[in-house]
Structure 1
Amino acid sequence: MIERQNRLLPAVGKQPYPLLFVTISGAHLYGFPSPDSDYDLRGSHILPIQDVVGLETGRETIEVAEIRDKLELDLVTHDIKKFFSLLLKKNGYVLEQLYSPLIVHTTPEHQELKAIAKGCITRHHSHHYLGFARTQWRLFGKECPRRIKPLLYVYRVLLTGIHLMKTGEVEANLLKLNEEFRLSYISDLITQKLTSAEKSPIEEGDLGFYRGEYERLYEELEQASQSSELPATPSAKEALNDLLIRLRLNGEDGANK
């Protein structure tokens, strides 16, 4: 994995603005990439002041899809203001990107942001995971034949949400989550996914069981949210604002010191 992460660095180095961080998301982060899985790179960049206050504004979001050194990758970065705003809006995607342990590019401010963002986590992040689970379950139900990958996404989302509500910690890796939940069918599905191609099908006769587990875990996430000791509102807005101003004023030097 480290070797492949290093092979992703050239794509990151081509970005037009200084980067706060870039991490790996998607199936690699979730712990069940297939041999042909692409790399989902996510992060945040820093627009210079002139690209923020001038009549011609810079690119708030940058998306790049390419094949580099036989690796298919998808890179998406948001300007720091947009990324910080998303952190304050119960967005589980950006939390998982920020705390991903699969780091391609980092800075001291990235580490600072991870400490600050603890104050962005609230019990209302459960709505993100509940909504994502519903969407993934609908997508899974529309497929013919039905594949393992969407089903794993359903369970990954629910277990991440339950774990977050109970501990306040962001854990997106299904293998690590299952060390806590110990669901044997999760291990079986991951094994099938890792040893097969991206479009691995599942047995139609198992659908009733998987539906029951989806409903059970969905209810557990709702209950975990109701009983969670996490705050109802974020407390990190002021600290995020201070970091945003400092990064904007320092520009490239602030992201690479």
Structure 2
Amino acid sequence: MPELPEVEVSRLGIMPYVEGQTVTEITIRQPKLRWPIPETLQQLKGQVIRRVTRRAKYLLLETDVGTAIVHLGMSGSLRVLPTSFAPEKHDHVDVTLSNGRVIRYHDPRRFGAWLWQEGDLPHPVLGNLGPEPLTDAFNPDYLLAKAAGKKMAMKSFIMDNAVVVGVGNIYANESLFCAGIHPKRPAGSLSFVEATKLVDEIKTVLAAAITQGGTTLKDFTQVDGKAGYFAQELRVYGKSGAPCPACGVTLERMVIGQRATVFCPQCQPL
């Protein structure tokens, strides 16, 4: 599944071709995605896309009358192509632009979404979200306050979008390893020193992944069709049974919240 860095890379990729362009046509070939595509999405037609922004893992195409909200789901991707390119299988949505290009949404598993937010009214999918991890609002004091008294596993805690958005499974594994925190530790046991280290590592890991183009998994490619390559630098994710890159002890695997979790029993003591 594309995580925050992959979605941010997609945003950066389409932004130069999309901002300031007028939408001339909306073509929906498959209206049944994670949720049915609302008819109100047609309000995008005739509008100028003022900004392409991101909230959590949602891409936002902002216009004067409302905002198209796009989620890539498990296997979704966006391309900016000349309108002469014929659609292929699983190309479900086209947004045709006045510059002769089309934003094409491809999603084999159809777990993504296209939604419409009327005016400035907040859409329900954007409600109750925590701060963006790369902003100053996500800081040690904030994290400690949210963790106070909580017994849930640290990994589940930092993956909770009500705590902080966009720390998916890959980057939760990587950040906890870099911070030296066991993924099953109760969130409420976090010290200020540990919270400071964890916040710093989450920011560092996510920023590095964005800079390097997003993580290559089987489903993700960038807007230009090139795969991201941060996967080459993952330290623990997907590497159970391999030696720890820091101490050489064998990395172990467990399941937390139905997600694969890899950690070093020596560098991340419980």
Same fold (TM over 0.5): no
What is the TM-score normalised by the length of structure 2?
Answer: 0.30
TM-score between both structures, scaled by the size of structure 1: 0.31
Could you say which structure has the higher helix fraction? 1
Greater relative contact order (Cα < 8 A, sep 6+): 1
